[in-house]
Amino acid sequence: MEKFTLTLKSVPAESLRTALCGVVSSGNLEVLVEHHGVEDACEIEVSTSAHGFRDIWEAVLNDFAREHKAGGLRLSINDAGATPAVVSLRLSQAFEIAGAP
Amino acid sequence: MSSHDHLASSRAERLKRAAGISSNRLVATEHAVQLLEAVIEPGDRVCIEGNNQKQADFLARCIAQTDPSRVRGLHLVQSVLALPEHIDLIERGQVERIDFSFSGPQAGRLARLVENKKITIGAIHTYLELFARYFVDLTPRIALIAAQAADREGNLYTGPNTEDTPAIVEATAFKGGIVIAQVNEIVDRLPRVDIPADWVNFFIKAPTPHYIEPLFTRDPALISEIQVLMGMIAIKGLYAEYGIKRLNHGIGFDTAAIELLLPTYAAELGLRGKICTHWALNPHPTLIPAIESGFVKSVHCFGSEVGMERYTSARPDIFFVGADGSMRSNRAFSQAAGHYACDLFIGSTLQIDLDGNSSTATLDRIAGFGGAPNMGADARGRRHASPAWLRAGREAQHGAGMPRGKKLVVQIVETFREHMQPTFVERLDAWELSRTANMELPPVMIYGDDLTHVITEEGIANLLLCRSPDEREQAIRGVAGYTPVGMARDARMVENLRDRGIIRRAEDLGIRKRDATRDLLAARSIKDLVRISGGLYDPPAQFRNW
């Protein structure tokens, strides 16, 4: 199990609803979206069963924070070996659900 | 004086030697090995029928039991080396040379035999290419084939799995060769005649029905949301854009997802009757919902698929069906149809390089090609126009020069495969394999200059619109995601390509990622497929989990 937390600059979010997306099963992950204090930063906590992919995680999460208005959100990710494709999809899905009108 | 009938007299000699084993064409099962020893001569070109579907497995077992001092120096010319007996025959020292198309399950054993110089590979062909050589310089002297049934005269019924049989038999029977058929049963009257008796020298009832691999059955339960997303991108960004009506699909889960999105997502987009009407395709169970919802008008098949026999019989408007009511497949014709008459091929691969060359070869396996390259290549001999073909041609030519169309050749892949293996690579493993296996060419499945689009979860790269090798490379990097190849992209150039519509992301196509769920699939299990077929689809046991 590898654990790390990133705090990334991001444009303040328009909606701050709580959302949960995905499941912790092989090749999949769950992500919990919650509100946190800092308006122009997104805090992302990753627990992953796969070792040695921190640089890819950082690339995926940096792109996410840059491309989405995720400031003021805390994302908690429980990963069971998802590919970057699945990570990006789950983050987008969670974000779309959290921001859905 | 020179003789002009060497082949005929050699055939007569061989038949004379076999006369003691069988007075008519019927040979007793227990005399099969003896028959082969009587008619095969050292150095013969031999075809043991089999492809990725049906196999002349009994005759393969028999030839692997022949006396190596009599049956030796053989040149195997056949679609696949898929059965253990094919490789056993090589290990027994009875084969000198092989020309083939595909080695699937035996790919590892074959690689070791080549490495140890136990065998020489002439070439690894595509199916259509090997059939073509049957009529030029690789005509079999002995063909060991598989049929469903024979009548008392030796007429053969191949049923829905006709596959390669007509091409093999025609080449062998008309060029002094000997055709031996294994059949599942001998009946008084055949439902229909697929191969006439006077092209068949001997027929034998096999102790067990010939093996057929259910290679084209994809369980919808295993289709991922990423595959749903890529399927949505393919339908909206490619099929709808070009108006693709005539096409061929590969056998992976990515294209199975597209098939299952036709009655739902594509129908919602108003595409019924506008895309995917005519196919060169095996009877994929995952096509059932699209057929039942009226999306599909015609399907010609390379072979059949286990469990689809009753369904294809009951849909004669869609499939090619004989007067007896059962489907007829023909691999050579369907390959030609896929090459010349389809506007699009889409399939998956294991590796794609920066020029867009793709390969399924890995270092310790010589797997070969099968049929994909015939479909996944521009048909340079094509002269008829269609809107999709013309548009691709215009995009490729930038509007200059003699007007000409182009086949759409698409690779649909996730950026990472299992175990985080990147699909996009700087250099294909095929190079290293060609060196270790002493091959004249790296085994490339689809050449980069034939490839027109790459689809990943990151979007579509339209290579036709690229104006320089540099742009092409960046277009590929631009959909390669977080692979090392993707991370090394020139971000500004990729943004420029996106502005010009050469790279299109899901959001550029108006696709919401949260819609990419399995709920969008027209069937989510094999059981759903059975239900949608009205109980006509009868899946093999390994796919029944209820």
Give the pLDDT band of residue B538 (cuts 50, 70, 90). very high
- The whole-angstrom distance between B265's CA and the closest CA on chain A is 18
**Secondary structure class of B417 (helix, strand, coil):** coil
How far is B168 from B180, CA to CA, in rounded Å? 11
| B332-369 pLDDT tens trace | 999 999 999 999 999 999 999 999 999 987 777 778 88
User: Which residue does chain A place closest to B513, by CA atoms?
Assistant: A93
Burial per residue of B392-411, b for 16 or more beta-carbon CB atoms within 10 angstroms, e otherwise: bbebbeeeeeeebbbbbbbb
Domains present along chain B, CATH in parentheses: 24-205 (3.40.1080.10), 220-527 (3.40.1080.10)
**Is the CB of A83 inside 8 Å of chain B's CB atoms?**
yes
Evaluate whether B413 touches B423 at the Cβ level (below 8 Å). Answer: yes
B446: number of Cβ within 10 Å: 25
pLDDT at B402 > cutoff 60: yes
pLDDT at B182 > cutoff 70: yes
Query: Which of A56, A60, A96 is nearest residue B513 as measured by Cβ atoms?
Result: A96
| B137-147 pLDDT tens trace | 999 999 999 99
Q: What is the pLDDT of residue B159?
A: 94
Evaluate whether B300 touches B282 at the Cβ level (below 8 Å). Answer: no
pLDDT at B477 > cutoff 70: yes
- DSSP secondary structure string for all residues of B217-248: ---GGG--HHHHHHHHHHIIIIIHHHT--EEE
Radius of gyration of chain A (CA): 12
Q: What is the pLDDT of residue B240?
A: 98
**Residue, of B37 and B417, whose pLDDT is higher:** B37
Treating both helix axes as pointing N-terminal to C-terminal, what angle do B165-173 and B331-340 enclose, rounded to 10 degrees? 110
Q: What is the pLDDT of residue A101?
A: 52
**Is the CB of B510 inside 8 Å of chain A's CB atoms?**
no
Task: List Cα–Cα distances, B28 to B151, B168, B202, in angstroms.
Answer: 15, 23, 10
| B366-383 pLDDT tens trace | 788 888 999 999 999 999
Task: List Cα–Cα distances, B291 to B133, B244, B270, B315, in angstroms.
Answer: 36, 16, 16, 9
How far is A48 from A56, CA to CA, in rounded Å? 12
Q: What is the pLDDT of residue A94?
A: 87
pLDDT at B288 > cutoff 80: yes
Q: What is the pLDDT of residue B107?
A: 87
How far is B474 from B496, CA to CA, in rounded Å? 10
Mean pLDDT on B294-307: 97
How far is B383 from B230, CA to CA, in rounded Å? 32
Q: What is the pLDDT of residue B271?
A: 98
Mean pLDDT on B425-447: 90
Domains present along chain A, CATH in parentheses: 2-99 (3.30.230)
| B99-131 pLDDT tens trace | 999 988 898 898 889 888 888 889 999 999 999
How far is A49 from A26, CA to CA, in rounded Å? 10
Stated pTM of the model: 0.95
**Residue, of B188 and B111, whose pLDDT is higher:** B188
Evaluate whether B128 touches B104 at the Cβ level (below 8 Å). Answer: no
Q: What is the pLDDT of residue B176?
A: 97
B217: number of Cβ within 10 Å: 24
Burial per residue of B163-198, b for 16 or more beta-carbon CB atoms within 10 angstroms, e otherwise: bbbbbbbbbbbeebbbbbbbbbeeeeebeeebbebe
How far is B372 from B431, CA to CA, in rounded Å? 20
Query: Which of A53, A89, A92 is nearest residue B420 as measured by Cβ atoms?
Result: A53
pLDDT at B16 > cutoff 80: yes
Mean pLDDT on B186-202: 98
* Interface touch A84/B487, C-beta < 8 Å: no
pLDDT at B22 > cutoff 70: yes
How far is B502 from B495, CA to CA, in rounded Å? 10
Average of per-residue pLDDT values in chain B = 95
Evaluate whether B74 touches B127 at the Cβ level (below 8 Å). Answer: no
- DSSP secondary structure string for all residues of B246-312: EEEE-SSHHHHHHHHHIIIIIHHTT-TTTSS-EEE----GGGHHHHHTT---EEE-SS--TT-HHHH
Q: Do strands B298-300 and B246-249 pair parallel, antiparallel, or not at all (unpaired)?
A: unpaired
| A4-63 pLDDT tens trace | 999 999 999 887 788 898 888 888 999 999 988 788 999 999 999 988 899 999 999 999
- The whole-angstrom distance between B490's CA and the closest CA on chain A is 15
User: Which residue does chain B place closest to A99, by CA atoms?
Assistant: B514
Q: What is the pLDDT of residue B294?
A: 97
**Is the CB of B513 inside 8 Å of chain A's CB atoms?**
yes
Instruction: To the nearest 10°, report the CA torsion of B282, B285, B287, B289.
Output: 160
Which residues in chain A have Cβ-Cβ distances shorter than 8 Å to B498? none
User: Which residue does chain B place closest to A92, by CA atoms?
Assistant: B513
Q: What is the pLDDT of residue B360?
A: 85
Evaluate whether B193 touches B155 at the Cβ level (below 8 Å). Answer: yes
Q: What is the pLDDT of residue B1?
A: 52
Q: What is the pLDDT of residue B133?
A: 98
Tell me: ipTM over 0.95: no
Q: What is the pLDDT of residue B455?
A: 98
Residue with tokens 């990151």: B458
Give the pLDDT band of residue B539 (cuts 50, 70, 90). very high
B228: number of Cβ within 10 Å: 24
| Residue A8: its H or E element | strand A2-9
